[in-house]
Amino acid sequence: MGKKLLKITMFGLVTLFLFVQIGWFMLPMLAPVLSGASDWVPIPLENVKTSCYQESEPLSWTWCVHKMEHQSQDTILYHLHGRRGAANWWNDKEYFSGDVMNLWDRQDLVPPTVVGISFGPLWLLQDEESMSGEAPPIGLLTEQLIPKIEIQLGLKIKKRMVVGESMGGVNALMLLAHASGSFARVAALCPPLSQLPPDAALTDIFKKVTDSSLSLKRALLLSAMGRYFYPESDRWYKLDPVQKLAVTQQVNTKSVYISSGQRDDWDCQGGIPALTRELERLNVDVTLDTRDAGHCWVDPKKLATFLVGEKVEHTLL
């Protein structure tokens, strides 16, 4: 009876081990499946007109322009949505961006022209040498698609800015690190900057979950997305915003706004100190806005102020 029980136990352990290994191997393939388009439908503000355009060249992408009265004709703000989002998410009275636009309107501020860009519900910018997944090249966006948008809108832009939340916050920081000459101001809202490379061992991931606000669910999803976009770790080291800034000697972006909740289960708070150190080393004016809150907490008033070029005070609570 004892030998039979031992055999059953060993068989169960081996089966469990194989199940975990196979699941771990297949996890990256599930990243796009677990990140399908949200069924959320924005409720637009009455005083904001949104027009969207579906493009097929040189790849499939969508952009939406959100027009307000008396908006600037030479300052443009590019909005990069979060995971599962869409290009039209900016104009939503129930989203933080709706509050931002209402504040611009009530305070008689001159808002920038706002354009949302999307390459699908899940995407991270790449370079031309590291293409994988649903990943548009940084150079394609800054050198071809953005000029196309501005020409089509008939604008002569003197100042560009970019704002992104969650996944979009990471993409905004990608642009800061790899194409800083294109954007004077960058607002990164709750960017989940992984402190572990995509090929980190399960033991390292479990330790990170234990030592931070990162939940196991989010940790596994970050690992899946990381390995989906960066099948080889050297791509991650080359493209990750913090890693890139660490070997950069100069950036042209002058001001960066970063917000994060201290109880964020994506552990956005974890990567911010290293990011801030590198930005301050590069003489970038950094505004930190952290609160005792969860994922993607945003202070609309401070963000609205930052995006019209005003000084914003730090908030560290």
- Reported as a single tens digit per residue, the pLDDT across 186-225 is 999 999 988 888 888 888 988 998 999 999 899 989 999 9
Residue 161 to residue 85: CA distance in whole angstroms = 20
CA distance 10 to 3: 10
> In angstroms, how far is CA 17 from the centroid of its own chain?
34
CATH architecture of 31-316: 3-Layer(aba) Sandwich (3.40)
Q: Residue 43's pLDDT is what?
A: 97
Residue 198, amino acid? P
Q: What is the pLDDT of residue 126?
A: 87
* Cβ–Cβ under 8 Å, residues 87 and 117: yes
Rounded percentage of the chain residues whose pLDDT exceeds 70: 87
pLDDT, position 97: 97
- Return d(Cα 38, Cα 161) in angstroms, integer: 26
Helix (H) or strand (E) holding 202: helix 202-211
Predicted pLDDT of residue 1:
55
Domain range annotation of the chain: 31-316
- Give the alpha-carbon dihedral of 271, 277, 280, 281, to 10 degrees: -130
pLDDT less than 50: residues of the chain: 133, 317
- Predicted pLDDT of residue 304: 96
User: Mean pLDDT score of the chain, rounded to an integer?
Assistant: 88
pLDDT value at residue 201: 86
Give the pLDDT confidence score for residue 133 in this predicted structure: 47
Which residues, 6+ apart, have CB-to-CB distance to 148 below 8 Å?
none
User: Which token pair is 115?
Assistant: 């354009």
